[in-house]
Amino acid sequence: MIKTNRLLTRRNCIVSISLYLVSAVLVLIAAPFIGSEPIRPGVVFRDIIGNGSNRSTEAMIFVYQRAPRVLLGFLVGGSLALVGGVLQVILRNPLAAPATLGLTGAGSVGAVLAISIPTLSISWGPFSTVQLFALLGSALALGAIYLMARSPQGVSMNTLLLAGVMIGIICGAVIPLIRFLAHPNYLVAMDRWMMGGLDVIGFRELAGLFPFLLPGVGLLFMQMSALNHLSLGEEIAMGQGVNVAAVQRVSFIAGSLSVAGVVSIAGPIFFVGLIVPHCVRRISGFDHRIVLPGTFLAGGTFLVFCDIFARTLIAPTEMPVGIITAILGGPFFIYLLIKKK
């Protein structure tokens, strides 16, 4: 009987994750061909396979603009949604999201500071000045939050939550101060970055994302079974042999790595990490062997969809994708709250 239940559970996991995966693949294939400039798939494939360096304009747009942008959107959306889903479990707070860590605000402070001082020209590998300053801001916030939440008994989740929220509030006050002191010529660039965007040329910037996402996302996926126990309560999880303090610590550090990498490239993009995990749980239940992979795939698919709207809604002008996620995410979350009530 136990063997049958295990087989049934495994089959349900495979079927559920396959549905999310198929949806994500279909969107990833179709999205690069949608935009203000029409691209014909036949022309693109013919030029990429047969013409070598002598490519048409459509193929150049596909290779250097659309494909990197879609891939970035998928990785950013998936990472934010995954981190949000994990934080909602370890903090036991349904409103927890990547911004709760305070790293989003701290990274934004670093990026805005870099934009306000253009004479600073630092680059390291695939990282630009803005990305390096955003990473530095997130790293400082991570260290401060961890030191405040750390105690002889382990990391206090309540203190971690409060510390993250307070750092976010402080950063929200520092950003207007930097804007006030900055030269007016740089305000547009600051505002554009603060809206969140996926504007990339080529795959060079994406390379700066993998040193953070690979360990961060990998460690979060490794916590699937422990999160199933932890979602029932810390006492129950400890009674079942789960090292709750270690799971919380690893999840916090891994989530922080992922958020820092995402913010350094795409800027602050809100609501994805808050809404998508709730939607996946309503569709697929609460087993984190399904929820975590499903949340990553659904989050990436959602942000790619939002970016399609951002690129086509007022074409040829492109809107920052962060505006679209806020417009779609806010009312949808209110709908979920009303329906649940």
Q: What is the mean pLDDT of residues 219-236?
A: 92
Q: What is the mean pLDDT of residues 293-313?
A: 94
Residue 332 has pLDDT above 50, yes or no: yes
Residue 259 has pLDDT above 60, yes or no: yes
3-class DSSP state of 329: helix
CA angle, corner 297, sides to 326 and 36, nearest 5?
A: 55
Q: Can you give the pLDDT at residue 334?
A: 80
Domain coordinates of the chain in residue numbers? Answer: 2-340
Q: Can you give the pLDDT at residue 54?
A: 67
DSSP letters, 95-120, are: T--GGGGSHHHHHHHHHHHHHH-TT-
Q: Can you give the pLDDT at residue 59?
A: 87
Two structure tokens written together for 220: 């979060």
CA angle, corner 267, sides to 219 and 185, nearest 5?
A: 155
Percent with pLDDT over 70 in the chain: 94
Is the peptide bond preceding residue 316 cis, with omega within 30 degrees of 0? yes
What are the C-alpha distances in Å from 241 to residues 110, 141, 153, 337?
Answer: 41, 32, 17, 34
Tens digit of pLDDT for each residue in 150-170? 877 777 888 888 999 999 999
Res. 127 pLDDT band, cuts 50 70 90 = confident
Residue 8 has pLDDT above 60, yes or no: no
Q: What is the mean pLDDT of residues 101-130?
A: 87
Residue matched to tokens 């402080």: 170
Q: Can you give the pLDDT at residue 340?
A: 63
Asked if CATH classification 1.10.287.3510 holds for the domain at 2-340, the reply, yes or no, is no
Q: What is the mean pLDDT of residues 131-160?
A: 87
CA distance 215 to 77: 17
Average pLDDT of the residues of the chain: 88
Q: Can you give the pLDDT at residue 4?
A: 36
Name beta bridge partners: 127: 124
Res. 199 pLDDT band, cuts 50 70 90 = confident
**Contact assessment for residue 208 and residue 261, using Cβ atoms and an 8 Å cutoff:** yes
Q: Can you give the pLDDT at residue 326?
A: 86
Running DSSP on this structure, what letter comes out for residue 64? I
Tens digit of pLDDT for each residue in 95-107? 889 988 898 999 9
Residue 2 has pLDDT above 60, yes or no: no
DSSP letters, 250-276, are: HHHHHHHHHHHHHHHHH----SHHHHH
Residue 81 has pLDDT above 80, yes or no: yes
**Contact assessment for residue 247 and residue 300, using Cβ atoms and an 8 Å cutoff:** no
Angle of helix 129-149 relative to helix 244-266, nearest 10 degrees? 160
Tens digit of pLDDT for each residue in 288-299? 999 999 999 999
Q: Can you give the pLDDT at residue 163?
A: 92
Q: Can you give the pLDDT at residue 201?
A: 86
Q: pTM of the predicted model, to two decimals?
A: 0.92
CA distance 146 to 155: 8
Q: For residue 193, give every residue at least 6 positions away whose Cβ sits within 8 Å of its Cβ, in sequence order, or none.
A: 108, 111, 112, 115, 130, 267
Q: Which amino acid is at 97?
A: A
The more confidently predicted of residues 318 and 69 is: 69
Residue 3 has pLDDT above 60, yes or no: no
Q: Can you give the pLDDT at residue 51?
A: 62
Name beta bridge partners: 155: 150
**Contact assessment for residue 104 and residue 258, using Cβ atoms and an 8 Å cutoff:** no
Half-sphere exposure of 325 (CA within 13 A, CB side): 28
Q: Can you give the pLDDT at residue 263?
A: 92
H helix count then E strand count, the chain? 16, 2
